[in-house]
């Protein structure tokens, strides 16, 4: 049914059971998002509350923001924002289901993709069934698992920067969940569909694979949505925060078998922000938006990477809206030095302490980035 995303799972769930169950335990575990991690990595006194005059390349946001049609739709909402609009959610679910060739009941809308990622980790892992992630990759799933006392196994990326799915499958025969970010955050590297399919074929029988496709629109990576529709043990996550420029509007979705999505619903589903829903509708109906933005991002990204390489620094090849630079010194020090020049770049990862992540900004922003980078690179 078109409104299946609103239904609770058919398991006799009551308010009392809900509070006694998994959701009550999850309430003590904060949901980590890219925004929180980006903010935490900055020195608050340096960053301040006002971003005026600062070049923000630290949170993988899209500097273009929502499309013009999306902005017009938001402007027209007016007092409608004072009410919940469940019909808007049903209509948006229908649109995405049709565009992506999904089956009814295989889509759940969320305020961004951080919630379903967090809930998926909690739903499919336990003290006996751990989480397997790449290193480096998004920190959020590992943080959720660790806070829930779930064992986390980190597997280094391969030499070509793809996920090492064979080592991931072998590291824990009792693993409950595998997390794959494709393209990967922070590297922007892609893991092939063949490798992802191999993982689905060779994982422990009870395990679920989470494929985070937050950055897929920037890349040539092949989606795993069809595997979810084919009833495989996979949940695919999407967000409107990246190529659609809607990070502040909070909208995303999870795709998977209804029985898998039902386990996520145990942790709660909030009404969705109406501005985000109408903006998403307009973005999805603009067939030129994704290819145009993909081309622009690639042009600026590739030019920026080429320039960094002329400065004799190593850069990981990227198909996302970010890239990793080996600055050959503690990355945190480099980040602070850039911030002193009002250019805020991304954080470092424990697996790669001398690498820093750079979000792709506008051409003007990347020119300012180059100026600051050249200055900092000369420092001893």
Q: Residue 57: beta bridge partners? A: 345
Q: Residue 236: beta bridge partners? A: 211, 255
Q: Is the pLDDT of residue 25 over 90?
A: no
Residue 24 domain flag? no
CA distances from 15 to 21, 24, 231, 266 (A): 10, 11, 30, 11
Residue 141 domain flag? yes
| Band of residue 212 on the pLDDT scale cut at 50, 70, 90 | very high
Task: Please report, rounded to a whole number, the percentage of residues in the chain having pLDDT higher than 90.
Answer: 82
Residue 247 domain flag? yes
Smallest Cα–Cα separation from 273: which of 72, 62, 61, 110?
A: 110
Whether 269 and 328 share a structural domain: no
Q: Is the pLDDT of residue 38 over 90?
A: no
| Band of residue 40 on the pLDDT scale cut at 50, 70, 90 | low
- What are the tens digits of pLDDT across the range 46-98? 444 455 689 999 999 999 999 999 999 999 998 898 989 999 999 999 999 99
Whether 310 and 325 share a structural domain: yes
Whether 70 and 60 share a structural domain: no
Starting at the edge strand found earlier in the chain, the sheet holding 252-255 runs: 107-110, 252-255, 234-239, 208-212, 177-181, 131-135, 152-156
- What are the tens digits of pLDDT across the range 160-199? 999 999 999 999 999 999 999 999 999 999 999 999 999 9
Q: Is the pLDDT of residue 1 over 60?
A: no
Phi and psi at 342, nearest 5°, equal 65, 25
Mean pLDDT for 112-134 is 96
The pLDDT score that the predictor gives to residue 268 is: 83
Task: Please report, rounded to a whole number, the percentage of residues in the chain having pLDDT higher than 70.
Answer: 86
Among the candidates 285, 320, 347, a domain finishes at 285
The pLDDT score that the predictor gives to residue 37 is: 60
Q: Is the pLDDT of residue 28 over 70?
A: no
Q: Is the pLDDT of residue 306 over 60?
A: yes
Whether 242 and 336 share a structural domain: no
> In sequence order, what DSSP letters do the residues of 39-71 get, joined into one string?
HHHS-HHHH-S--TT-EEESS---TT-S-HHHH
| Band of residue 379 on the pLDDT scale cut at 50, 70, 90 | confident
Residue 277 domain flag? yes
Tokens 């595998």 belong to which residue?
178
Whether 359 and 215 share a structural domain: no
Check which CATH number belongs to the domain holding 233 and give it: 3.40.640.10
Whether 150 and 167 share a structural domain: yes
Residue 313 domain flag? yes
The pLDDT score that the predictor gives to residue 269 is: 79
Whether 41 and 76 share a structural domain: no
The pLDDT score that the predictor gives to residue 121 is: 97
Across the chain, mean pLDDT equals: 90
Check which CATH number belongs to the domain holding 361 and give it: 3.90.1150.10
Among the candidates 266, 285, 304, a domain finishes at 285
**Greatest CA separation found in the chain?**
64
Taking the C-alpha atoms of residue 62 and residue 195, their distance in angstroms, rounded to an integer, is 29
Whether 273 and 329 share a structural domain: no
Whether 336 and 209 share a structural domain: no
Q: Residue 135: beta bridge partners? A: 156
Query: Residue 325 in contact with residue 314, Cβ under 8 Å?
Result: yes
Residue 270 domain flag? yes
* Domain that includes residue 200, residue range: 66-285
Whether 276 and 303 share a structural domain: no
| Band of residue 132 on the pLDDT scale cut at 50, 70, 90 | very high
The pLDDT score that the predictor gives to residue 296 is: 98
The pLDDT score that the predictor gives to residue 322 is: 98
Residue 18 domain flag? no
Residue 2 domain flag? no
Tell me, rounded to whole angstroms, the distance of Cα 160 from its chain centroid: 21
Whether 129 and 172 share a structural domain: yes
Smallest Cα–Cα separation from 264: which of 125, 132, 368?
A: 125
Whether 214 and 106 share a structural domain: yes
Token pair of 198 as six digits? 């191999």
- Scored b (16 or more CB within 10 A) or e, 334-370 reads bbebbbebebbbbbbbeebebbbbbbbbeeebbebbb
Among the candidates 285, 316, 340, a domain finishes at 285
- Span of 47-56, 117-126, 192-201, 235-244 with lowest mean pLDDT: 47-56
| Band of residue 3 on the pLDDT scale cut at 50, 70, 90 | very low
The pLDDT score that the predictor gives to residue 15 is: 39
- What are the tens digits of pLDDT across the range 4-22? 444 444 334 443 444 344 4
The pLDDT score that the predictor gives to residue 241 is: 96
The pLDDT score that the predictor gives to residue 24 is: 44
Q: Is the pLDDT of residue 23 over 60?
A: no
Number of domain units in the chain: 2
Tell me, rounded to whole angstroms, the distance of Cα 17 from its chain centroid: 31
């Amino acid at each position: 049914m078109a409104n299946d995303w609103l239904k609770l799972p058919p398991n006799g769930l009551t308010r009392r059971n809900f509070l006694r169950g998994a959701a009550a335990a999850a309430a003590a575990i904060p949901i980590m998002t890219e925004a929180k991690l980006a903010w935490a990595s900055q020195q608050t006194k340096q960053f301040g509350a006002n971003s005026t005059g600062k070049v923000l390349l630290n949170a993988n946001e899209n500097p273009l923001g929502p499309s013009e049609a999306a902005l017009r739709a938001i402007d027209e909402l007016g007092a409608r924002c004072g009410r919940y609009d469940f019909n808007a959610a049903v209509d948006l679910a229908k649109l995405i289901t049709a565009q992506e060739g999904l089956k009814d009941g295989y889509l759940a809308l969320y305020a961004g993709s951080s919630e379903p990622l967090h809930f998926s980790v909690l739903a499919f892992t336990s003290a006996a069934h751990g989480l397997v992630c790449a290193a480096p990759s998004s920190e959020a799933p590992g943080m959720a698992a660790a806070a829930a006392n779930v064992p986390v196994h980190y597997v280094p990326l391969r030499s070509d920067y793809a996920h090492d799915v064979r080592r991931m499958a072998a590291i824990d025969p009792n693993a409950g969940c595998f997390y794959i970010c494709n393209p990967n955050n922070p590297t922007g590297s892609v893991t092939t569909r063949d490798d992802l399919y191999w993982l689905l074929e060779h994982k422990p029988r009870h395990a679920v694979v989470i494929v985070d496709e937050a950055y897929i629109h920037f890349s040539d990576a092949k989606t795993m949505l069809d595997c979810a529709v084919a009833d495989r043990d996979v949940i695919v996550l999407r967000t409107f925060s990246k190529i659609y420029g809607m990070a502040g509007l909070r909208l995303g979705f999870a795709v998977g078998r209804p029985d898998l999505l039902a386990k996520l619903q145990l942790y709660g589903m909030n009404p969705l922000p109406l501005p985000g829903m109408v903006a998403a509708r307009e973005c999805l109906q603009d067939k030129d938006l994704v290819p145009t933005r993909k081309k622009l991002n690639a042009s600026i990204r590739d030019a920026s990477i080429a320039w960094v390489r002329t400065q004799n620094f190593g850069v990981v090849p990227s198909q996302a809206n970010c890239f990793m630079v080996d600055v050959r010194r503690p990355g945190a020090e480099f980040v602070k030095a850039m911030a002193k020049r009002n250019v805020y770049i991304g954080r470092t990862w424990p697996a790669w302490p001398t690498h820093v992540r750079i979000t792709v900004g506008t051409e003007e922003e990347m020119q300012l980035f180059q100026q600051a980078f050249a200055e900092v690179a000369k420092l001893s």
